[in-house]
A = this chain, B = another copy of it.
C-alpha cells in the first residue's frame, strides 16, 4: 500500500517569473507582452524556439498536422499556462490563438542561461516538462483505448478543473477543436454532448452551446473510467 501523490502536489511554477525571473535581481530578463487575434498563428512547427510564452488572457491550441490535413491537437493552453518551452531548438507544435489572446513572453536563451547557474530554475524547467509529459501519457491512453463517450467525459472533467468559474464552464474552443483534441469528428463530439445532456449529466447555459454546467460530476467520472 502506497501513499497516493496527486498531480496537484507536484510543484508547478505558475508564472514565468516563478521560473526564476526576479526583475529586481536580473535585469537582463525582459517580460514583454504580445496580443494575437482569434485564429492567428503564434508560431509554427519546426520554427526556431526563441521564446517561451504564458497566456495572460485568452486561449491557445497547439497541434500537429498530417500532410493531408488531419489534425491532432496536443494541448489547450488556458490563462496562466506556460507553453512553447522546447528543449531542442525548434517548436514541435504549431500554436494558434483560439480567441483574442494576450501572452507574456521571455527569450528562451535567458531562461537557459539562468538555469545553468541556478539549480532551482533548472528544477522548475524539469518539473514543467514532466507535467507536460504526464499529460501526454494520459492522453495516449485516452486516444488509444477510450470510447467516444469516455473521451468527452474526460475532456469535460479536465476543463472543469481548469476553467470553471461560478459553476459554469465557458469553453473557448469549437466542437472541431474538441474533436481534434480527442481524436474524433465534430459530429461525434456533438452527439456525445447531446447524450450527456439527455442523461442529465450536464446542462447548457444561455443560447450559446459553449457554456456548460456540470450537474453530476460523480456520474461523469464514472463514465470516464480512469484506473
Contact surface of A with B, Cβ cutoff 8 Å: 2, 4-5, 9-10, 46-48, 64-68, 70-72, 74, 86-90, 92-93, 115-117, 119, 122-123, 125-127, 129-130, 132-134, 136-141, 143-146, 180, 182-183, 225-227
B140, B145, B183: which contacts A136 (Cβ < 8 A)? Answer: B140
- Residues B72 and A127 in contact, CB atoms below 8 Å apart: no
- Residues A130 and B88 in contact, CB atoms below 8 Å apart: yes
B71, B86, B126, B145: which contacts A72 (Cβ < 8 A)? Answer: B145
- Residues B225 and A67 in contact, CB atoms below 8 Å apart: yes
Complex Cα spacing A133 to B136, Å: 7
Contacts of A227 in B (CB 8 A): 65-67
Most buried by B among A127, A139, A141, A183: A141
Assuming the contacts A133-B132, A136-B136, A225-B66, asked whether A127 and B87 have C-beta atoms less than 8 A apart, the reply is: yes
CB proximity of A73 to chain B, nearest CB, Å: 8
- Residues A48 and B2 in contact, CB atoms below 8 Å apart: yes
Complex Cα spacing A225 to B65, Å: 10
Chain copies in complex: 2
CB proximity of A6 to chain B, nearest CB, Å: 10
Contacts of A68 in B (CB 8 A): 225
Assuming the contacts A2-B48, A66-B225, asked whether A140 and B87 have C-beta atoms less than 8 A apart, the reply is: no
CB proximity of A114 to chain B, nearest CB, Å: 11
Contacts of A137 in B (CB 8 A): 64, 74, 92-93, 136
- Residues B143 and A87 in contact, CB atoms below 8 Å apart: no
Contacts of A125 in B (CB 8 A): 126
- Residues A10 and B88 in contact, CB atoms below 8 Å apart: yes
A117's closest neighbor in chain B, by CB? B119
B64, B72, B89, B140: which contacts A5 (Cβ < 8 A)? Answer: B89
Interchain Cβ contacts under 8 Å between A and B, 24 examples: A2-B48, A4-B46, A4-B90, A5-B89, A10-B88, A64-B138, A64-B141, A66-B141, A66-B145, A66-B146, A66-B225, A67-B225, A72-B141, A92-B134, A115-B119, A116-B119, A117-B119, A119-B122, A122-B122, A122-B123, A125-B126, A139-B140, A140-B143, A143-B183
